[in-house]
Amino acid sequence: MIRHFLRDDDLSMAEQSEILDLALRLKADRFAERPLEGPRTVAVIFDKSSTRTRVSFAVGIAELGGNPLIITTADSQLGGKETPQDTARILERQVAAIVWRTFAQSGLEAMAEGTTVPVVNGLSDDFHPCQLLADLLTIRERRGDLAGLTIAFVGDGSCNMAQSYLLAGATAGMNVRIASPSSFAPAAAVVSDATRIAASTGGSATLFTDPVEAVTDADVVVTDTWVSMGKELETRERLAELGKFQVTSELMAHASAEAIFLHCLPADRGFEVTSEVLDGPQSVVWDEAENRLHAQKALLVWLLAKQ
Ligand code: CP
Ligand code: NVA
């Protein structure tokens, strides 16, 4: 049965773990899987800017034997000119899968509904599930089993990364703490979904307004930009409200002595994180960025095998 990957909880705990296992295998042996041999094409559509997602999907699709077709909305008929459903009808007859970076989650749902090829969320306003696969892979490499680990996300709790941490972390059986001002808390529906998932995996989902409390004894500390793509008009109030949520060496000192620091990048150095932390010994952000490649290849192999 066709499967899509629109949000982190589209995968069960076992499925998430299976994809991470495969990602580790592909990292060790990059050309071990060639499901796109032919080459078959994968469409990768961007309504927003990207460096990592664009490069890692293009390289990954090529390494799986396929042909990456990168489409930017400005040069296409998408984006108000043609509906996601009609676009999918065109693409599905020619491509093996569709990856889409967009704004509204509802557009991805519309694209996936009734489509005959897998649709993958390459980042939406609500979630960034491909990034979470890379983050979990990085955490697994450094800290072993994910279940039982405590992660503290500090900053804009309403952004796609924080919300994806809630769903993916809960799925992995992790204790997910989100520290943000209450005006930048995650959506209640996402917290409730994470809490429900955590009840079956042994994890937990907890909101904090004090970054020190959230980070205390954490195994992993994470942040993301305070001004996500599409939120640029709110920059001034965001910087004012989020200023106390910067990840500094002083804040990191409250985490476990072996804690690692993650950031999906791009980073606004001196805002959500200091350069001292980003470039410091606890930071694993460059491995994390590389792991986009391995995690997404594993995801594509897995999705293509389900068809
Ligand atoms: N982390 C991430 O998705 O980066 P890009 O915006 O460069 O793709
Ligand atoms: N939260 C950020 C992630 C960028 C990869 C954004 O949506 O802009």
CA distances from 307 to 70, 96, 109, 190 (A): 23, 10, 18, 28
pLDDT tens digits for 24-34? 999 999 999 99
Closest CA to ligand 1's atom 4: 52
Identify whether the C-beta of residue 7 lies closer than 8 Å to the C-beta of residue 167: yes
State the distance from the centre of ligand 2 to the C-alpha of 262, rounded, in angstroms.
Answer: 14
- Given this model, what pLDDT does residue 164 score? 99
Q: How far apart are CA 179 and CA 154, in angstroms?
A: 5
Q: Does 57 have pLDDT greater than 80?
A: yes
Q: What is the atom index within ligand 2 of the atom nearest the CA of 123?
A: 7
- Centroid of chain to Cα 56: 13
Strand-by-strand arrangement of the 97-101 sheet:
67-72, 41-46, 97-101, 119-121
- 297 Cβ below 6 A of ligand 1: no
Ligand 2, atom 8, lies closest to the CA of: 228
Distance CA 118, CA 150 (A): 32
SS3 assignment, position 196: helix
**Centroid of ligand 2 to alpha carbon of 121 (angstroms):** 13
What pLDDT sits at residue 36? Answer: 98
Residue 101 CA, ligand 1 centroid: distance in Å: 10
The fraction of the chain above a pLDDT of 90, given in percent, is 96
Mean pLDDT of 115-123: 97
Q: Check pLDDT > 80 for residue 5.
A: yes
Tell me what the pLDDT averaged over the chain comes to.
97
Ligand 1 atom at minimal distance to the Cα of residue 55: 8
- Mean pLDDT to the nearest integer, 234-262: 98
* Average pLDDT value for residue range 220-245: 98
Rounded to 10°, the helix 13-28/160-171 angle is 100
Task: Quote the ligand 2 centre to 125 CA distance (angstroms).
Answer: 8
User: Does residue 301 contact residue 42 with C-beta atoms inside 8 Å?
Assistant: no
Task: List, in order, residues 6 or more apart from 282 with CB less than 8 Å away.
Answer: 221, 252, 259, 260, 261
The pairing of strands 67-72 and 260-263 is unpaired
Q: Pick the ligand that lies closest to the CA of residue 288.
A: 1
Residue nearest (by alpha carbon) to ligand 1 atom 2:
52
Residue 149 neighbours by CB distance under 10 Å: 22
Reported as a pLDDT band with limits 50, 70 and 90, residue 77 is confident
Which residue minimizes the CA distance to atom 1 of ligand 1?
Answer: 264
Taking the centre of ligand 2 as the mean of its atom positions, its distance from the CA of residue 123, in whole angstroms, is 8
Our mutation pick for probing the ligand 2 site, out of 48, 165, 224, counting the most ligand atoms within 8 A of Cβ, is 224
Supply the pLDDT for residue 78. Answer: 85
pLDDT at residue 45 in the model: 97
Query: Which residue type sits at 236?
Result: R
Residue 80 has pLDDT above 80, yes or no: no
74 pLDDT more than 90: no
Rounded Cα distance between 41 and 100, Å, is 14
Residue 107 pLDDT exceeds 80: yes
* pLDDT tens, residue by residue, 140-168: 999 999 999 999 999 999 999 999 999 99
82: left (phi over 0), alpha (psi -120 to 50) or beta: beta
CB 109, CB 145: distance < 8 Å: no
Over residues 269-283, the pLDDT tens digits come to: 999 999 999 999 999
Residues annotated as catalytic are 101, 128, 131, 224, 264, 292
The ligand 2 site (C-beta within 6 Å) comprises 123, 128, 159-161, 224-225, 228-229, 264
- Please give the number of the atom of ligand 1 that sits closest to the Cα of 56: 8
Mutation choice for ligand 2 from 52, 124, 128, 233, CB with most ligand atoms inside 8 A: 128
The protein residue whose alpha carbon is closest to atom 7 in ligand 2 is 228
Cα distance between residue 112 and residue 179, in whole Å:
33
